[in-house]
Structure 1
Amino acid sequence: MMWVLLIIGILILVLLILIFTKVRVYIDYKRVQTNDKIHIKLSAWYGLIHYTFKVPVIKKDDDSAAIVVKEEQEMNGKTEKEEKKKITPEDLRDGFADMKELLQHMVGFHRVIRQFTGKIQVKKFSWHSIVGTKNAAHTGVLTGACWALKGSIIGLLTTYFNFRIMPAYSITPDFQRWQANTSISCILQFRIGQAMVTGIKLLRYWKGGKPHFRSRKLAKLSGDSNKQSF
């Protein structure tokens, strides 16, 4: 009996530690000319446990309309997986179809997600861009439009997320050449317990029975493991 109580006590302690554990998400995105780089790092317990996801190369496939993505995943500094993938227009179409399917089965999806994002603390947010054309007048118009667009996006983000700092952003015009370079760096923080509560709420408000997903990975969840994109 003592062993059972001890095991239950340990499980409760582990669950409490997990619930109150803070997770930091570091996101860095850079686009220079035609090269895109994405670096996402998840860290917990002051870096004792960390997981890194890198997409160092994103480019268009010369032989098709697909996008070639090179992925690298690391766990505590050790490379777990490295592979190349092709993202086709069909994959994007199936992804949007799956998102629509999820939204149709979720009651109050927007409200639940907004409650969660409101608890996500933004510790750092910077977004700097360089835009330009060879025409000074066109560059001026483009710069103004980018300022307006970026200001609207950041305003929307501050509505949904809990910003602990003022976002830093800029648009630098280049009147000498064509340019569309940008870099985004941000740090997000939330508790695992908050994510768990959000997942429970989403399951609670699920309706309409089993969904029918089209993408291969999500089709396995709905029992259509042999389903192909059409």
Structure 2
Amino acid sequence: MPGYPYGWIMAGGFFFLLVIALAIASPVVIKGYAKRVGENDVAELRVKALYGLIRFRYKIPIVKWKGLSLKVEEQVKATNAGIDTWEQFENEINKEKVERAIDKYKQILHLTRDLKGWAKDTLSRVELIQWNWTTSLGTGDAMWTAMATGAVWSIKTSILGLISQMVQLKSHPAMSVEPDYKHPSFTTEWSCIAQIRFGYAILAGLQLLARMKKWKGGIKTWQNILFRA
């Protein structure tokens, strides 16, 4: 029948465009969680994109001080279209590694045109839809506990104020600081959920690549800096 193949081609084209539109409009969901009770720490970051087809999980189940350095046990899990990959390793964070990280950041900032502007524009697309942060602390002395409680509350509100200037707050943040006047203690638990449209994330990545390529050496220079020992 005349025109029959063209009908299927058009239907296939519309279906393809629909899939692309749904992918662009889908959210990249980022979930963060951290908790400290006494000497026990745990932190976790989860990222989900394309309606769960792509998943990433980064977890720090153990954090220990070792002299002047911080020993961290890390676990990384990535899921792509149902295929899981796990990596587990230990890392030690010391003064030298922190100094190298700061030096790398300065070099990248110098090499990339208006990197701060790019970061500010990208973060403005992020929606913060949940923020919970509870803390309980005590020093063993009522007066010092009250002062410490006020100081922690001030730090929390300052951090939230800074974040609210960079991203879009979509719900009222929940925060609390409870004093423990009976004995020395410290417990804190934090969680948040943020999201950005997949289309915006892709666009931000393309913009970053374009800025990197404008500098002599481009992406290769970035790689040399980031993966240099």
The interval holding the TM-score normalised by the smaller chain is 0.7 to 0.9
Kept in 2: contact 1:44–1:50 (CA 8 A): yes
Kept in 1: contact 2:74–2:90 (CA 8 A): yes
C-alpha offsets along residues 36-84 of structure 1, whole Å, 9 cap, x if unaligned? 21111112344454322211111122xx533221112233595612222
Kept in 1: contact 2:23–2:50 (CA 8 A): no
Structure 2 length normalisation: TM-score? Answer: 0.80
Is 1:67 matched up with 2:70? yes
**Alpha-carbon distance between aligned partners in 2 of 1:54 and 1:210, rounded to the nearest angstrom:** 34
Partner of 1:134: 140
**How many aligned positions are there?**
216
Is 1:36 matched up with 2:47? no
Alignment of structure 1 residues 118-197 onto 2, 5 Å: 118-197=124-203
**Alpha-carbon distance between aligned partners in 2 of 1:47 and 1:224, rounded to the nearest angstrom:** 29
Cα distance, 1:24 vs structure 2: 0.7
Runs of 4+ displaced beyond 6 Å: 9-14
**Alpha-carbon distance between aligned partners in 1 of 2:73 and 2:138, rounded to the nearest angstrom:** 29
Cα gap change, 1:31 to 1:204, in 2 (>3 Å):
same
C-alpha offsets along residues 170-199 of structure 1, whole Å, 9 cap, x if unaligned? 111111222232111011111222122222
Partner of 1:27: 32
Cα distance, 1:12 vs structure 2: 7.2
**Structure 1: which 5+ residue stretches go unaligned?**
212-217
- Give 3-state SS (helix, strand or coil) of 1:222's partner: helix
Q: Which of these two proteins has the greater Rg computed from alpha carbons? A: 2
RMSD, aligned CA:
3.1
**Alpha-carbon distance between aligned partners in 1 of 2:222 and 2:163, rounded to the nearest angstrom:** 33
- Give 3-state SS (helix, strand or coil) of 1:177's partner: coil
**Alpha-carbon distance between aligned partners in 1 of 2:127 and 2:31, rounded to the nearest angstrom:** 12
- Give 3-state SS (helix, strand or coil) of 1:107's partner: coil
Cα distance, 1:99 vs structure 2: 0.8
Partner of 2:223: 221
**Alpha-carbon distance between aligned partners in 1 of 2:215 and 2:50, rounded to the nearest angstrom:** 39
- Give 3-state SS (helix, strand or coil) of 2:28's partner: strand
Partner of 1:105: 111
Moved more, 99-108 or 44-53: 44-53
Cα gap change, 1:46 to 1:224, in 2 (>3 Å):
closer
**Alpha-carbon distance between aligned partners in 1 of 2:222 and 2:119, rounded to the nearest angstrom:** 24
**Structure 2: which 5+ residue stretches go unaligned?**
1-5
Cα distance, 1:111 vs structure 2: 2.1
Cα gap change, 1:224 to 1:170, in 2 (>3 Å):
closer
**Alpha-carbon distance between aligned partners in 2 of 1:187 and 1:49, rounded to the nearest angstrom:** 17
Cα distance, 1:223 vs structure 2: 7.7
Cα gap change, 1:111 to 1:204, in 2 (>3 Å):
same
Moved more, 125-134 or 78-87: 78-87
**Alpha-carbon distance between aligned partners in 2 of 1:50 and 1:72, rounded to the nearest angstrom:** 14
Which amino acid in structure 2 is aligned with residue 71 of structure 1? E
Cα gap change, 1:115 to 1:175, in 2 (>3 Å):
same
Is 1:82 matched up with 2:85? no
Cα gap change, 1:47 to 1:223, in 2 (>3 Å):
closer
Higher helix share: 2
